[in-house]
């Protein structure tokens, strides 16, 4: 596959990812800002949206895998997200349509990028990274009362047309897993547990200083940069080394120094390094089922988020609890990657990751 095709697709889908997430966030927060719902209803709308957007992705992904329509899924998702901007006067339908559209786009784009990735974490990391920027931008637009539907619609439709015109990557030929699948379910479960715990921790942490626009931008930039660098560094120095090191160093920074912006921002960057590595690890465990694999990671995200929607949030935000749960995530991720390396990952040409496999 040509470098031009890879560069074109990763650029267009990454920008579109930011745009889709920005539109969804702006629409939801505009519902309250424009007095279409009471402020206390916003929490319910966000929960409904997130449950639909994240929990339906395994089903959407499975359908994309069966029918081989990742581009169509991404485009349909963008059309639905655009349509949701016209439903601001109808809060619940707006949240539902935005959630379904978001799920379809993410899966379609995810499958396209995973087909380009050739078993490496770099491109998936770059694809998922701009979502945080879009989310923050959309929230600020919606909260501030600056929401206007037509610019979002025009940008989404322009991006959708661009997606339909750029060269489509060929479907990657699935690699063969070893005949002995003894640790198959265990590896997938451990990686998903790590994702779920990181989701819970990420939503539990409180950063009172992020009300400062400059610090909020720096925090968002750390999330974006962490996810993008995680894939790049993981492919260069080894998935296990980068993912575990990032989480291990971030644990004390986030647990005990969350009140200090500079330290917490560094911690957030390191915390996010593991994200593309878990994604590509699960995708490599499910060859030929890239959409389903992508959807499983988002399902783990929403499962991890559920406790933060309850009164348990007070306990989850405690310093010792955050530190302990990050350590549990490290243990799950290390065990999953180690088992993957020993039993399934011999074909991955990544530095120390391969070295560990050979030593085992």
Spatial separation of the C-alpha atoms in residues 271 and 254, rounded to whole Å? 9
pLDDT for residue 274: 97
Torsion of CA 237, 242, 244, 248, to 10 degrees: 130
pLDDT for residue 38: 79
Give ∠ CA 117-15-301 in degrees, rounded to 5.
65
76-107 pLDDT, tens digit each = 999 999 999 999 999 999 999 999 999 999 99
pLDDT for residue 278: 97
User: Contact 242/218 with Cβ under 8 angstroms?
Assistant: no
Look up the pTM and report it.
0.92
Tally the C-alpha atoms within 13 A of residue 187's C-alpha that lie toward its C-beta. Answer: 23
Burial of 162 (0-12, 13-18, 19+ CB in 10 A): middle
pLDDT for residue 176: 74
pLDDT for residue 123: 97
Hunting for tokens 């260069």 — which residue is that?
236
Q: What is the pLDDT along the chain (360 residues), one digit of tens a residue?
A: 788 999 999 999 999 999 999 999 999 999 988 777 777 788 899 999 999 999 999 999 999 999 999 999 999 999 999 999 999 999 999 999 999 999 999 999 999 999 999 899 999 999 999 999 999 999 999 999 899 999 999 999 999 999 999 998 877 777 777 667 889 999 999 999 999 999 999 999 989 999 999 999 999 999 999 999 999 999 999 999 999 999 999 999 999 999 999 999 999 999 999 999 999 999 999 999 999 999 999 999 999 999 988 888 888 889 999 999 999 999 999 999 999 988 887 544 344 443 343 333
* Domains of the chain by start residue, with CATH: 3-165 (1.20.1250.20), 184-359 (1.20.1250.20)
Torsion of CA 119, 123, 126, 131, to 10 degrees: -70
pLDDT for residue 352: 42
């Amino acid at each position: 596959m040509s470098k031009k095709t890879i560069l074109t697709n990763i650029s267009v889908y990454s920008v579109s990812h930011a745009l889709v997430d920005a539109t969804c966030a702006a629409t939801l927060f505009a519902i309250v800002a424009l007095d279409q719902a009471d402020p206390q209803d916003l929490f319910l709308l966000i929960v409904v949206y997130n449950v639909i957007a994240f929990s339906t992705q395994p089903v959407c992904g499975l359908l994309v895998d069966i029918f081989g329509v990742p581009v169509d899924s991404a485009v349909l998702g963008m059309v639905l997200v655009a349509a949701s901007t016209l439903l601001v006067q109808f809060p619940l339908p707006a949240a539902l349509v935005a959630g379904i559209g978001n799920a379809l786009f993410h899966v379609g784009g995810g499958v396209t990028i995973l087909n380009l990735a050739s078993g490496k974490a770099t491109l998936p990391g770059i694809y998922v990274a701009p979502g945080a920027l879009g989310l923050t931008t959309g929230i600020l637009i919606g909260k501030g009362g600056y929401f206007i539907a037509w610019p979002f619609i025009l940008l989404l439709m322009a991006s959708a047309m661009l997606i339909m015109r750029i060269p489509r990557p060929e479907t990657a030929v699935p690699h063969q897993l070893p005949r002995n699948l003894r640790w198959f379910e265990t590896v997938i479960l451990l990686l998903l547990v790590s994702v779920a715990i990181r989701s819970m921790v990420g939503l539990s942490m409180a950063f009172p200083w992020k009300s400062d626009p400059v610090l909020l931008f720096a925090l968002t930039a750390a999330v974006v940069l962490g996810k993008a660098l995680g894939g790049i560094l993981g492919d260069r120095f080894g998935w296990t080394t980068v993912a575990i090191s990032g989480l291990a160093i971030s644990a004390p920074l986030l647990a005990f120094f969350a009140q200090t912006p500079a330290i917490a921002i560094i911690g957030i960057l390191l915390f996010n390094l593991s994200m593309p590595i878990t994604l590509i690890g699960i995708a490599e465990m499910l060859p030929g089922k890239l959409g389903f694999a992508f959807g499983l990671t988002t399902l783990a995200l929403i499962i991890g988020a559920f406790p933060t929607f309850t009164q348990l949030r007070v306990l989850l935000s405690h310093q010792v609890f955050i530190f302990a749960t990050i350590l549990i995530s490290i243990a799950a991720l290390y065990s999953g990657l180690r088992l993957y390396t020993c039993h399934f990952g011999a074909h991955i040409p990544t530095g120390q990751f391969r070295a560990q496999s050979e030593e085992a």
